[in-house]
Chain A
């Protein structure tokens, strides 16, 4: 069953990434040079709406909080994020959009994925040497969320996680609506 879901959900995600323009490196450069915020508005809106629906679904018990998977916070998240940002601006793709763009038959995306395999391999070989370094010192308690989920510890301890999610999600959605299409 999970295998079939993987095929359906993966196909859907690849399809959507193409249709939103995320597999078009020109759109990525447009966003990162702040000339064309179409994608930024879409991403902010998606985060806001999905967050509100997720927490609403969990609070009324139709979404299983056991399906959540919160990643750990540590120094390497910021350093790795910065490296990803550097490569993202250079290549015009992030991992998901690079894979999808390869499906569209773009030669540069194919080369990007080869580069990605090389970078991931280099990391696989390096991990043993850096595993005990400052890069993996936790930040803010490791696996934490802002709104309470019942599964992980929360930074904002209020009785209503739904309210926290509504405020955060509402802010993202409001930014999406108010941000100009071009600066």
Chain B
């Protein structure tokens, strides 16, 4: 088992991250950047996806209704992916790599604590679950307008009603699903 911080150190460190972000720039959010990454890839194949538009608030418009919404906010980010929110998420990849680089397991990985899924535990089954789970999570996060970072942590920190609604919906389904798939032992 890798060495993790105690819950109180963990909670304090997370609080510092979310506070620093809102004090210096804006609340943390992640899931929007999946859409921006998709848009960047999509625009490689479709030159007409993003257009400049002096009438829109962001100066950009899109043939896709979602990228075009809120004054072309997402269209602008797709056109200029070197922006705060996108780089923030890319930097998270580096940060986690850095942390794990100096956090080697002290003992061989503890395979006994790997939960057993009732849908099968072959490598292919686990990867398939990761793909399908990822697709459902991001579809849901975009419908909700945010994910665990944006709605739950940043949202509830600001006492936003949306954060409470989101957290209630997420845990109401996640807990029974996890218990069904992985059991209590």
Give the tally of cross-chain contacts (CB within 8 A): 488
* Beta-carbon contact of A34 and B175 below 8 Å: yes
- A78 closest partner in B (C-beta): B169
Complex Cα gap A83–B174 (Å): 9
Neighbouring A residues of B173 by C-beta, 8 Å: 81-83, 85-86, 89
The dominant DSSP class at the A interface is helix
Complex Cα gap A113–B137 (Å): 10
Given A46, A73, A95, which contacts B12 in the complex, CB threshold below 8 Å? A46
Q: What is the distance, in angstroms, from A16's C-beta to the closest C-beta of chain B? A: 5
Complex Cα gap A144–B154 (Å): 14
- B156 closest partner in A (C-beta): A47
Quick check: is B27 within 8 A (CB to CB) of the other chain?
yes
* Beta-carbon contact of A49 and B113 below 8 Å: no
Neighbouring A residues of B170 by C-beta, 8 Å: 81-82, 84-85, 88
Quick check: is B136 within 8 A (CB to CB) of the other chain?
yes
Given B18, B129, B143, B149, which contacts A95 in the complex, CB threshold below 8 Å? B149
Residue ranges of B at the interface with A (Cβ–Cβ < 8 Å):
2, 4-5, 7-8, 10-28, 30-31, 34-35, 37-39, 41-42, 64-67, 69, 82-85, 87-100, 103, 113-115, 126-127, 129-175, 177-179, 181-185
Residue ranges of A at the interface with B (Cβ–Cβ < 8 Å):
2-3, 5-21, 23-24, 26-27, 29-30, 32-35, 38-39, 41-47, 49-51, 53-55, 57, 63-64, 67-74, 76-105, 107-109, 111-125, 127-128, 131, 135, 139-140, 143-147, 149, 152, 155, 164-165, 168, 172, 176, 181
